[in-house]
Amino acid sequence: MTEQGTTAHGPRIVVGVGPEEVESALAFAAAEAVRAGCGLHLVHAVDLTPMAADHVLLPAVDMDAWGAGRIAEAVKLADELVDGAVPVTHDLVRGTPVGALVEVGRTARMVVLEHRHLSRLSRIVNRTVAGGVAAHLRVPVVAVPSGWRPDGEPRVVVAGVDVPERSDEVLRAALAEAHARGARLRLVHSWSLPTAYEGMFPPEDVRGWSDTARAEVCAALDRVGDLTAAMDADVRVEQGRASEVLVEASAGAELLVIGRHDPLVPIGSHVGPVARAVLREATCPVLLATPRPHRAAYHP
């Protein structure tokens, strides 16, 4: 095991190993590590935060033993997935999952986590670990839904474009991912009217707004890529709520790339409501693109 943040092939891909499913995250991360020729590093955090009085508090030695067994199982699976192509290392640390992954992830190539689809009630009281990690890292963070498996056939990389003139990071990441995978690139932009104004405008006005949005998305892609990429991309402008449109677009996609708020603002650091909703509901891996550097960096 190594505590270095990089290998001979550059920064590693870090995978968070939690108490539940991790097979889908490992399948995604292993494929990425082999493609990039970099190390795969697994991290499990043993959280000894005191619980409520009506819970049984396990001794630290038992928690450590359980954690060691859990990560050993994950390492065995990771070794099988990479089949000797890249090194697999691991860490068992004490602390919260978010805190541990933020610390290890600062020097990572990418941080990958698995998430489960939760019930509506659970969603109200639960924030994803991926969202918490992404709120404090500049590296790409990928959330892989439980049950997802690669099918070996490149299909399409979808990029969610919010405000075209401020979507450079998302577009660059989506272009790079589509190129690396030999996949088609699809750009999805959504817009909606306030409920009070729905149905009040003639169809030609609605078509005109969609055409204008489409032109703005194509111009943004041309600015960060090249004319060929802009001509080959499948640009779709949909009327509807952003999170719902993106979740629908994730069906059948190989990867969904979306943006996030700058994570290093001093107050109210978060990934944004649309990103949180997409992380919860998407049916394909979701990559949260690296935000622009912030002039007044804040380190939590």
Q: What is the pLDDT of residues 130-152, one digit of tens each?
A: 888 888 888 999 999 999 987 76
Task: With CA atoms as reference, report the closest residue to 71 among 11, 115, 14.
Answer: 14
> Can you tell me whether residue 133 is helix, strand or coil?
helix
**Better-predicted residue by pLDDT, 61 or 176:** 176
Instruction: Give dist(CA 207, CA 210) in Å, integer.
Output: 5
In a domain, 294, yes or no: no
In a domain, 218, yes or no: yes
* Contact present, 43 and 14 (Cβ < 8 Å): yes
Same domain for 135 and 165, yes or no, is no
- Amino acid letter, 194: P
Same domain for 161 and 270, yes or no, is yes
pLDDT-based confidence at 109, cuts 50/70/90? very high
In a domain, 295, yes or no: no
**Strand intervals (E) in the chain:** 6-7, 10-11, 13-16, 40-46, 88-94, 110-115, 141-145, 156-160, 184-191, 234-239, 255-258, 286-288
In a domain, 176, yes or no: yes
Give residue-wise pLDDT tens across range 41-78. Answer: 999 998 765 554 444 555 555 777 888 899 999 999 99
Same domain for 12 and 93, yes or no, is yes
pLDDT-based confidence at 288, cuts 50/70/90? very high
Same domain for 50 and 110, yes or no, is yes
Same domain for 175 and 113, yes or no, is no
Please tell me what DSSP assigns to residue 188: E
Same domain for 39 and 129, yes or no, is yes
Same domain for 134 and 171, yes or no, is no
Instruction: Report percent pLDDT > 90 for the chain.
Output: 44
Same domain for 205 and 263, yes or no, is yes
Predicted TM-score (pTM) of the model is 0.83
pLDDT of residue 112: 96
> Can you tell me whether residue 25 is helix, strand or coil?
helix
Once rounded to an integer, what is the mean pLDDT over residues 240-255? 92
Among the ranges given (4-13, 75-84, 210-219, 270-279), the one the predictor scored with the smallest mean pLDDT: 4-13
CA–CA–CA angle 288, 277, 36 (5° rounding): 25
Same domain for 53 and 175, yes or no, is no
Alpha helices in 83-226 (DSSP H): 97-105, 120-125, 129-134, 168-181, 203-224
**Terminal Cα distance for the chain, rounded:** 27
pLDDT of residue 292: 64
Same domain for 11 and 136, yes or no, is yes
- Looking at the structure of the chain, the number of domains it has is 2
User: Which of these three, 123, 145, 167, is where a domain ends?
Assistant: 145
User: Which of these three, 88, 117, 145, is where a domain ends?
Assistant: 145
Task: With CA atoms as reference, report the closest residue to 146 among 97, 113, 181, 122.
Answer: 113
Q: Residue 139 maps to which CATH number?
A: 3.40.50.620
pLDDT above 50 (res 199): yes
Q: Is the alpha carbon torsion for 78, 25, 254, 143 positive or negative? A: negative
Instruction: Give dist(CA 277, CA 174) in Å, integer.
Output: 20
pLDDT of residue 192: 78
| Containing structural domain, residue 210 | 156-288
Same domain for 219 and 279, yes or no, is yes
